[in-house]
Amino acid sequence: MIGPPVPPGGTAPSRNTAPPGSPAPSRDTEFPWHDIPSDSTVSPGKAEVSRNTVPPDGIVDVWWFDTRTVTVGSSGLDELDRGERSRAKAFVFPADRHRYQVAHVMLRRVLASYAGTAPGQLLLGREPCPHCGAAGKPVLLPECCPPPGAGPVPSFSLTHSGDMVVIAVAGRQVGVDAERDAIGCVCSLAQALHPGDAAWVAGLDEQDRHEAIITCWVRAEAVLKCTGQGVGHGLGGFPVGPRHAADLSVSGCTVRQLAAPPGYQAAVAVAGTGQLTPRRAVG
């Protein structure tokens, strides 16, 4: 996620992206807006938990949530662990706290639907960063996913920008990033990109340059989240520019641009090579 002072953003394959409930445009026609039940219709802690199948190779489930339309009640907050509740309380502004709570309650509910257990029983940890050994990619710990040996533990990635939360779930390592459309000039961000991408975007007119820079950003960050390194080690180690194919192979990952709600840009990366197909998640 791009930090202040410049609000993040991006370029979708088309500026006329699909509204909620409509087929997505351009390259991801199989990726509609979707949701899972909020507190008004979900009863966490029931003995029976709905079960989704972890996506097979080449498939990634992508969930979008608009935090303005999700109400998190006391039952949802009870599903969070102590660390998540502590981090939520640390936010100064209620709107920021709400976005965080929605992101993490929905993450637990999405993962619970694949793990076959209650959201509050999920155990989340972090793998060590392959670059420096520090705490890196968040993971779902296998001991919380009964019954043992019933299937693969899903890999997941969470991102949030503005009012949107995106969760990607796959059978292999996955990374997702979303950003709001740029407000103001973002040309200074080009220096963080791969030199080839930076040189290419420099030749565009200003509006196209802004969009191309953020397109490169969401693709690169999705790759780094997939590999577990994160943006702290830089985004400039590989080219991901918009001039490349829809399914781009880079750093051992396959990257695809996602259709996104108006005003947002997103990309997903999955470990391995080959065609990548985002699909609607079914709860």
pLDDT, one tens digit per residue, over 60-102 is 999 999 999 999 999 999 999 999 999 999 999 999 999 999 9
State mean pLDDT over 173-194.
93
Contacting residues for 168 by C-beta, under 8 A, at least 6 apart: 60, 61, 62, 63, 156, 157, 174, 175, 176, 268
Res 205: pLDDT? 94
State mean pLDDT over 192-214.
93
Following DSSP, what letter does each residue of 105-171 receive, concatenated? HHHHHHHHHHHTS-GGG--EEEEEPTTT-SEEEEEE-GGGSSSTTSSPPPEEEEEEETTEEEEEEES
State mean pLDDT over 170-176.
95
If we measure between CA atoms, which residue out of 188, 185, 267, 189 comes closest to residue 225?
A: 267
Identify the three-state secondary structure at position 221: helix
Q: 112-116, 139-143, 159-163: which has the highest mean pLDDT?
A: 159-163
**Greatest alpha-carbon span in the chain:** 59
Q: How confident is the model at residue 214 (pLDDT cuts 50, 70, 90)?
A: very high
If we measure between CA atoms, which residue out of 226, 257, 282 comes closest to residue 24?
A: 257
pLDDT in tens, 51-60: 788 999 889 9
Identify the three-state secondary structure at position 275: coil
Q: pLDDT: is 114 or 151 the higher one?
A: 114
Contacting residues for 258 by C-beta, under 8 A, at least 6 apart: 28, 31, 62, 176, 178, 266, 267, 268, 278
Bridge partners of 60? 278
State the Cα–Cα distance between residues 111 and 63, nearest whole angstrom: 11
Q: How confident is the model at residue 142 (pLDDT cuts 50, 70, 90)?
A: confident
Q: What is the pTM of this model?
A: 0.81
For 91, what's the count of Cα atoms within 13 Å in the CB-facing half-sphere? 13
pLDDT, averaged across the chain: 80
If we measure between CA atoms, which residue out of 230, 233, 99 comes closest to residue 166?
A: 99
Is residue 9 pLDDT above 80, yes or no? no
Where do the domains of the chain lie, and which CATH numbers do they carry? 59-279 (3.90.470.20)
List the structure tokens of 223.
Answer: 């790759």
